[in-house]
């Protein structure tokens, strides 16, 4: 056994909550398992991780997370197959991105063994919380925040790393209708758009709320300069199919390097689907909608995997997408989820057994 795993202190809950949970009717991210992993950074180094009962975190009012927003997170899922084996999907990519995000926000980078071995130990303790129902999974939320105290505008001297688990159903049900943003920006060049920083998402809520009031479910983000280029779909990367070609924008300071995004690109290449990674203008999408060459749009991310878009609004006009029988979205989502749940071969080596 790994030395760190054998050294992780485990304090088990005295009373499990699992018998109160309806695993056939799970919302997304509203139910939490019995335990969580915690690890503190202090005295210039990360300490030993512990597994404790799921509980509130007590912080001083001067904790810097409240004042200067040093907070990053990841989103992952664990799956259980027909033989009760537990699987993760590309977990090292999440670990690497967590540290990329941390570095940008001046948070100390986390050692790989604390992340991976801590996660393995936590999943072992709460393995009964992994749902087996089709479309459900155990959502994993690793996050780091500034727990050190002080009102001085500078990086904290203490941080807390936590992994919490939430058995969850589908993130979205059905297709979504989106509004192409013309005023607000998700991020800017030289900023933190590429990081999974909590503040990125906080800044999205107000424009999204305005879109919801107009009858849309999500916002399509455009560039910060002229709102000329398509960038992301809500909290997800975006793919656009024109005729038979799948198009997605390149990553940059503004766009998250999504793990699902990278996986879709690799699948498309392997399966002979024409795929282009390039800038795509709003006008190109609108013109494609007008002439009938726009076949599909969908968001891509860990929570929803693939979220089909039924239509979009732009400059007061709504454009509906055609209803196709065989879509790239359906094919790709099944391709990924079959790998994740051990229902198919994994030609890429993405699936990791716990």
Read off the pTM. Answer: 0.95
Q: Do domains 3-168 and 176-340 have the same CATH topology?
A: no
pLDDT value, residue 7: 84
* Cβ atoms of residues 28 and 131 within 8 Å: no
Question: What Cα–Cα distance (Å) separates residue 267 from each residue in 66, 217, 331?
Answer: 41, 28, 10
Residue 344 has pLDDT above 60, yes or no: yes
- Where would I find the H helices in the chain? 3-7, 65-68, 91-104, 112-125, 198-213, 259-270, 282-291, 328-340
* Cβ atoms of residues 309 and 178 within 8 Å: yes
* Cβ atoms of residues 184 and 226 within 8 Å: no
Residue 305 has pLDDT above 60, yes or no: yes
Domain boundaries, the chain: 3-168, 176-340
**Closest C-alpha to 200, from 224, 168, 164:** 224
pLDDT in tens, 166-185: 999 887 777 799 999 999 99
Residue 204 has pLDDT above 90, yes or no: yes
Percent of the chain residues topping a pLDDT of 90: 92
Query: Rounded to an integer, what distance in angstroms lies between the CA atom of residue 347 and that of residue 203?
Result: 38
Residue 304 has pLDDT above 90, yes or no: no
Average pLDDT of 250-273? 96
**Where are the extended beta strands (E) located within 147-217?**
159-168, 176-180
Residue 1 has pLDDT above 50, yes or no: no
- DSSP letter, residue 105: T
Residue 61 has pLDDT above 90, yes or no: yes
Average pLDDT of 124-130? 97
Neighbour-count burial of 319, counting CB atoms closer than 10 A to its CB (0-12 exposed, 13-18 middle, 19+ buried):
middle
Cα distance from N-terminal residue to C-terminal residue, the chain: 13
Residue 17 has pLDDT above 60, yes or no: yes
* Cβ atoms of residues 71 and 146 within 8 Å: yes
Residue 4 pLDDT level (bands cut at 50, 70, 90): low
Residue 6 has pLDDT above 70, yes or no: no
* Cβ atoms of residues 235 and 198 within 8 Å: no
pLDDT value, residue 33: 98
pLDDT in tens, 266-277: 999 999 999 999
Residue 5 pLDDT level (bands cut at 50, 70, 90): low
Distance of CA 280 to the CA centre of its chain: 23
CA atoms within 13 A on the CB side of 17: 15
Q: Choose which CATH entry (3.30.470.10, 3.10.20.30, 3.40.50.2300, 3.30.420.240) describes domain 3-168.
A: 3.30.470.10
Residue 3 has pLDDT above 60, yes or no: no
Which two tokens mark 352? 């990791």
Task: State which fold the 176-340 domain adopts.
Answer: D-amino Acid Aminotransferase; Chain A, domain 2 (3.20.10)
103-107, 142-146, 253-257: the lowest-pLDDT one:
253-257
pLDDT value, residue 170: 81
Residue 52 has pLDDT above 80, yes or no: yes
Average pLDDT of 66-70? 98
Greater pLDDT, 352 or 3: 352
């Amino acid at each position: 056994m790994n030395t760190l795993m054998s050294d992780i202190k485990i304090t088990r809950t005295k009373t499990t909550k699992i018998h109160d949970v309806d695993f056939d009717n799970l919302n997304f991210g509203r139910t939490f398992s019995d335990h969580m992993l915690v690890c503190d950074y202090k005295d210039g180094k990360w300490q030993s991780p512990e597994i404790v009962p799921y509980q509130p975190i007590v912080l001083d009012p001067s904790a810097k997370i409240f004042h200067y927003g040093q907070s990053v997170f990841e989103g992952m899922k664990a799956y259980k197959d027909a033989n009760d084996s537990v699987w993760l999907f590309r977990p090292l990519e999440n670990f690497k991105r967590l540290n990329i995000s941390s570095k940008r926000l001046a948070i100390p980078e986390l050692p790989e063994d604390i992340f991976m071995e801590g996660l393995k130990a936590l999943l072992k303790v709460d393995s009964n919380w992994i749902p087996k129902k089709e479309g459900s999974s155990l959502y994993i939320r690793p996050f780091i925040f500034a727990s050190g105290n002080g009102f001085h505008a500078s990086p904290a001297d203490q941080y807390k790393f936590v992994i919490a688990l939430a058995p969850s159903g589908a993130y979205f049900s059905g297709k979504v209708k989106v509004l192409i943003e013309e005023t607000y920006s998700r991020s800017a060049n030289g900023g933190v758009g590429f990081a999974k920083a909590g503040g990125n998402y906080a800044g999205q809520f107000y424009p999204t709320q305005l879109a919801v009031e107009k009858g849309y479910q999500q916002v399509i983000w455009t560039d910060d300069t002229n709102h000329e280029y398509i960038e992301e779909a809500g909290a997800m990367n975006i793919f656009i199919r024109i005729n038979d070609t799948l198009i997605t924008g390149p990553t940059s300071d503004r766009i998250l390097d999504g793990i699902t995004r990278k996986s879709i690109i690799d699948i498309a290449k392997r399966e002979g689907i024409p795929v282009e990674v390039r800038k795509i203008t709003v006008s190109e999408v609108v013109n494609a909608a007008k002439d009938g060459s726009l076949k599909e749009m969908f968001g891509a991310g860990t929570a929803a995997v693939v979220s089909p878009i039924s239509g979009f609004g732009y400059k007061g006009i709504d454009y509906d997408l055609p209803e196709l029988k065989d879509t790239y979205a359906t094919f790709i989502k099944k391709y990924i989820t079959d790998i994740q749940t051990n229902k198919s071969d994994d030609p890429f080596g993405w699936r990791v057994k716990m």
